Amino acid sequence: MTGNQVSRVGPGLIDTSQTLSFEFDGQQFTGHPGDTLASALLANGVRLVGRSFKYHRPRGVFSSGADEPNALVALRTGAHLEPNTRATGVELYDGLIANSQNHVGSLRYDLMAVNDLLSPFLGAGFYYKTFMWPAAFWEKVYEPLIRAAAGLGRLSGLPDPDVYDKGFLHCDVLVIGAGPAGLSAALAAGRAGARVIIADEDFRLGGRLLAEDREVDDVRGNAWANQAASELSSLANVKVLSRTTVFGAYDHGTYGAIERVSDHLLISDGKPRQVVWRIYAKRAILCAGATERSIAFGNNDRPGIMLAGSVRSYLNRWGVACGRRVAVFTNNDDGWRTAADLSAQGVSVPVVIDVRDNVERDAPVGSEVFTGVRIVDTSGRKALKAIKLSNGQTIDVDCLAVSGGWSPNVHLTCHHRGRPRWREDISAFVPDQNNLPPGMRVAGAANGTMTLAEGLRSGHATGVQTARDLGFTNPSGEPARAASETMETSPFWHVSECKARCWVDLQNDVTVKDIQQAHREGFRSVEHAKRYTTLGMATDQGKTSNVLGLAILAETSGRTIAETGTTIFRPPYTPVPIGALAGRARGASLRPTRLTPSHDWAKEHGATFIESGLWLRAQWFARPGETHWRESVDREVSMTRTSVGVCDVSTLGKIDIRGRDAATFVNRVYANNFATLKVGRVRYGLMLREDGIVMDDGTTARLDDQHFLMTTSTAKAGPVFRHLEFCRQCLWPDLDVHLTSVTDQFAQFAIAGPNARDLVANIVDPGIDLSNDVFPFMACGDVTVCSGVSARLFRISFSGELAYELAVPARYGDALVRALMAVGQDFDVVPYGTEALNVMRIEKGHAAGNEINGQTTARHLGFGARRPKTSDFIGTVLSKRVGLSLEDDIRLVGFRPIDRSRQLTAGAHFIARGAACTLENDEGWMSSTAYSPTLGHAIGLGFIKRGQQRFGEITRAVDLVRDTDIEVEVVSPHFVDPDGERLRA
């Protein structure tokens, strides 16, 4: 024992040969490997570790595990700070820094402790009642004040510098918990040959065996646990995950687990801090043990009042006496075990108080025994000093070990909405075997089997049976043996004769009175009472308090506990950091980024990029001296329209369609006719959903009789491919059609402008005739470029200019853009980005995503006047609905401001001059706007009722969001080259 570890009375299971230093609230302490922060603080005599949530009452360590409601600390500092960490679960390491939280001023002298004096005004649901007047104060005064006071720890506010991984594991049998039952189950299933994963939240396997002075197979329990762990680790078919909490049971046999990989290290040295595992298990065996609960009596929250089983844990596992004079208060046999173990190690146990009458147990030497007696009050502001009994006696103690019985940890059995059932004989809820998550079994204390001997047997039997169910029949050995014990308990929830407040939920400062008050105010359902009182909320989720609370509610309402029922649990079992759930998917890695073949070239040439779905596309290419994006975009548009521009359009979806029935298939998925499309030609296609709404548009080329190449918009590439596969596989499985996504196969560049033909002519190999006669508008064909590289050339235009799209295998994409720009120097070629592309398509009146937004039909887009297609296609029937065929329906048209200096905004709605801005007067909306450098003023595309009949009419574009109201003229959507002379040049 080193330093000031005044309460260390034995070696326990820690390594006392090494000493670790750590800091709590700025004070230096020492501990040993194997300690938790809580055990080390207790060893150093630290009793006060935190302040309660609402009343800021002094609080000390209450338990020894995940159920801890009090000892929540802020661990580490700076950006690594993690508030609300349970000191009972923090593995001690050299250099650990922790601080108490939820106080103003020091921990000892917390100014917010004044709340305790105001407690008569701060009872259950006070915030629903107390701050009603004046109403105006709620948002400005009361709510900010309450929010500032609420919560426990504070986040650093800095980006989390730690690294988190996620991963996937598969097994036949997942054993959750490595106590006596869990180890037995894993051994049985593992020996039988099943692939087993055993996970335990502790850094050492053994569960309660580490806390008890019991023998298993004639050796001390912790030694047997070590042997079992060694055997499991030696089995190739078993994976042992310590420091791993299975926090959720999800659908189809999947479980969520978090492994704390480097939380116990001062420096992670590149290791991830935590890993969230998704475990796919054919079967699961829940061996999560049980949690001890308290008894509510007057001032039962003082530092030094602890759960009896935890006092025993600190003694046997960590060699820590939680007090010099420890009293025991119990309603069951297990409390007596704590008294015996303390006494055996020389700790004074002046009194054992059992609420049961006529209990005959061997009392420790020197202990006075009271049966049928209760504790009614305690004293000691910052640490327990004395207890007062119902018989009037006051006894000086510095620690009180309380045992109100044990509650099986049924949490994961509830994650599929299973509701546990009440068992009178053990006064606890146990899993309903008929309502477990599929594939799950429960063994040991989690199933209500409260003795060690039975726990070992049930774990083994469940492991054998589970393995057998899966066909694994190798010998599993015999179950481990332990002596039988008594485990009688008598339900006793709270001491009714107390005058002081009796605490039920230590984390949320919920008292017996709060629960009774909730009932008086009509909260009869346990679910309602929970939310009204906050019982069982926050980080511990009521592990020590839920049963106590609902038992008091049952008593108050005059019903049984079984009739009252219980709340059930949702994932996670214990808190999981958001960072761990995110894993690597954060910042720039939130999702993958798709890069175009010309990305590196674009980056070299000053491109500003924009996210377009997953793609990163060049938005514009700023030249030196250009200070505003509009300068760059205007230049790109102007130079393209006067000479030639190049744009990477590889992001457009490209779907290769082959098969004897390919033509039939394409004709059925498009609303317009493709049956007549000739080989070597391209046609614009409009694809509808079943409901008649436009899904996407694009061009499709016929490469040969049974071979088409469809293009889609960038955004809809995935959905369209999925839609086509649905059509192919489900609607028309008789058609011989095969689809292959070739989006990434080709680097494709649009070459647009009056000099496009000349530029392309200098790229394709000699002998390829690009004349209008041989290769007219909407032609396509195979060519070779730059000395024999295979390519495809399409004479199509989105910009409205004479244009081509040239596609080469993607490996040549970078080289091709460099070649185009080099060859194009003679024509002042300009690269243009998506912004210029958008301006030019608006000038030309081409619809894009803004117009095909899931609301519009072919008629809206102006395709209604075309000759109707006679053959069936997706959307045929529902596009003929009356509502989609109205003569006064909206139409896509163009708009220009009357005052040419005004900018237009997409999203503005059209309201007639003089009309009020009401829904009734809404005639449509502006879908796309741009400044047209070609025309020298803003232009827009939009949908307005009877648009095709209203050219020349003046209306208003009203944008209430941006507070603009602009008079606009309805015009043709084709602002540039309305007759198509340029693109057919």
Partner 1 sequence: MGQMIPLKARPALGGFDVSIGSCRLAEVTRFELLSLAWPHNAEPELRQELANACGIVLPPCGTVGADPSGDVRLLRMTVDHAYMLFEKAEIERADSIYRSLAQTIYVTELADALTVLRLQGDQTTDVLARICMLDLSGPSLAVGCVARTRFEHISVVVAREAPSRFLLMCGRSYARSFQHDLEDRMSSVAALAH
Please report, as ranges, the residues that interact with partner 1 according to CB under 8 A: 163, 165-170, 195, 261, 268-272, 275, 278, 280, 584-585, 589, 591-596, 614-615, 650, 656, 658-660, 736, 738, 740-746, 762-766, 785-787, 789, 808-816, 819, 822-823
3-class secondary-structure state, position 974: coil
Least distance in angstroms from the C-beta of 712 to partner 1: 15
Angle at 303 between CA 298 and CA 307, to 5 degrees: 75
Structure tokens at 629: 């994006």
> CA end-to-end span of the chain, whole Å?
94
Least distance in angstroms from the C-beta of 727 to partner 1: 16
Best CA proximity match to 685, nearest among 693, 673, 676: 673
Least distance in angstroms from the C-beta of 700 to partner 1: 16
For 646-655, give one letter per residue: b (16+ CB within 10 A) or e: bbbbbbbbbb
Q: Which is nearer to partner 1, 163 or 646 (CB)?
A: 163
CA distances in angstroms from 36 to 26, 65, 85, 91, 296, listed in the order given: 18, 10, 12, 4, 27
Best CA proximity match to 193, nearest among 169, 177, 172: 172
Q: How many CA atoms lie within 13 A of 477 on its CB side?
A: 20
Beta-carbon contacts of residue 168 (< 8 Å; ≥ 6 apart) = 277, 278, 279, 280
Q: Which is nearer to partner 1, 679 or 822 (CB)?
A: 822
Least distance in angstroms from the C-beta of 699 to partner 1: 19
Least distance in angstroms from the C-beta of 654 to partner 1: 9
Report the C-alpha gap between 660 and 246 in whole angstroms.
53
Q: Which is nearer to partner 1, 454 or 648 (CB)?
A: 648
Least distance in angstroms from the C-beta of 230 to partner 1: 21
Q: Which is nearer to partner 1, 170 or 220 (CB)?
A: 170
Least distance in angstroms from the C-beta of 746 to partner 1: 7
Least distance in angstroms from the C-beta of 764 to partner 1: 6
Least distance in angstroms from the C-beta of 602 to partner 1: 14
Burial level of 788, CB count in 10 A (0-12/13-18/19+)?
Answer: exposed
Q: Which is nearer to partner 1, 591 or 881 (CB)?
A: 591
Report the C-alpha gap between 204 and 183 in whole angstroms.
12
Least distance in angstroms from the C-beta of 728 to partner 1: 11
Contact 737, 659 (CB under 8 A): yes
Peptide bond just before 11 cis, omega within 30 deg: no
Q: Which is nearer to partner 1, 162 or 636 (CB)?
A: 162
Least distance in angstroms from the C-beta of 819 to partner 1: 4
Q: Which is nearer to partner 1, 718 or 862 (CB)?
A: 718
Contact 388, 378 (CB under 8 A): yes
Least distance in angstroms from the C-beta of 777 to partner 1: 23
Structure tokens at 41: 């603080």
Best CA proximity match to 847, nearest among 724, 716, 744: 716
Q: Which is nearer to partner 1, 27 or 787 (CB)?
A: 787
Least distance in angstroms from the C-beta of 841 to partner 1: 23
Beta-carbon contacts of residue 802 (< 8 Å; ≥ 6 apart) = 752, 753, 754, 756, 757, 982, 983, 984, 985
β-strand partners of 710: 655, 700
Beta-carbon contacts of residue 388 (< 8 Å; ≥ 6 apart) = 298, 375, 376, 377, 378, 379, 394
Q: Which is nearer to partner 1, 234 or 787 (CB)?
A: 787
Best CA proximity match to 942, nearest among 832, 858, 800, 842: 842
Q: Which is nearer to partner 1, 32 or 654 (CB)?
A: 654
Tokens 């050299």: give the residue.
94
Least distance in angstroms from the C-beta of 280 to partner 1: 7
Report the C-alpha gap between 968 and 910 in whole angstroms.
9
Least distance in angstroms from the C-beta of 271 to partner 1: 4
If you write DSSP's letter for every residue of 537-605 in order, what string do you get?
-TTTTTTTTHHHHHHHHHHHHT--HHHH------S-SS---HHHHHTT-SGGGSS--EE-TTHHHHHHT
Question: Which pairs with CB-CB distance under 8 Å and at least 24 residues apart come from 776-779?
Answer: 776/984, 777/980, 777/983, 777/984, 778/681, 778/682, 778/683, 779/680, 779/681, 779/682
Structure tokens at 898: 């009357």
Angle at 615 between CA 611 and CA 621, to 5 degrees: 65
Q: Which is nearer to partner 1, 234 or 918 (CB)?
A: 234
Q: Which is nearer to partner 1, 612 or 850 (CB)?
A: 612
Q: Which is nearer to partner 1, 143 or 725 (CB)?
A: 725
Least distance in angstroms from the C-beta of 711 to partner 1: 15
- Estimate to the nearest angstrom the gap between the alpha carbon of 805 and the chain centroid: 43
Q: Which is nearer to partner 1, 492 or 775 (CB)?
A: 775
Strand 274-286 to 440-442 pairing: parallel
Q: Which is nearer to partner 1, 315 or 817 (CB)?
A: 817
Q: Which is nearer to partner 1, 812 or 832 (CB)?
A: 812
SS (H, E, C) 191-248: HHCCCEEEECCCCCCCHHHHCCCCEECCEEHHHHHHHHHHHHHHCCCEEEECCEEEEE
